[in-house]
Amino acid sequence: MLTEGTVAPDFTLSDKDGNAVTLSAFRGRRVVVYFYPKDNTPGCTRQACAFAGAYEDFKALDTVVIGISRDSVASHVKFAEKYGLPFILLSDPELQAIQGFGVWQEKKNYGKVTMGVVRSTFVISPDGIIEKVFPKAKPDTNAAEILDYLRG
């Protein structure tokens, strides 16, 4: 997993509307990139809804919020519509950003070892440097922790 002080790897992925979104296009603004395992699962839904609930606070801090998973564009459309998610959701089926940030890791579930996305959040400074990492982010508290960090 990438660490604080590292240059955030650039990526271009499709959003829920099929538009190409490139990380470097947000230079000059702070960006919160959060990686999550799967749309419409309990933890991921709680995390997404927490970001949605805090969205105006992120906007007031001129901070872009981007959620990334392996889910398809079509899945993101349904997820965003069902829960009223106002922030950017990106589809990364080829693991471009997921592997670039080092969040594709071994996971143990009921004794079985598989590869998957480790729920993690990165705060990227206006100049493209990772300034804060929240590894193994907790779905219910992640958005609030990031706001606390951003407010200093």
- Does the predicted TM-score (pTM) go above 0.85? yes
Q: Where are the beta strands (DSSP E) in the chain?
A: 12-15, 20-22, 30-35, 63-69, 88-91, 104-109, 112-117, 120-124, 130-134
Give the chain's length: 152
All structural domains of the chain: 12-151 (3.40.30.10)
Query: Which of the residues are catalytic?
Result: 44
Q: What is the mean pLDDT of residues 44-66?
A: 98
Q: What is the mean pLDDT of residues 119-144?
A: 97
Say what the pLDDT of residue 108 is. Answer: 86
Q: How far is residue 70's CA from residue 87's CA, in Å, rounded to a whole number?
A: 17
Say what the pLDDT of residue 80 is. Answer: 97
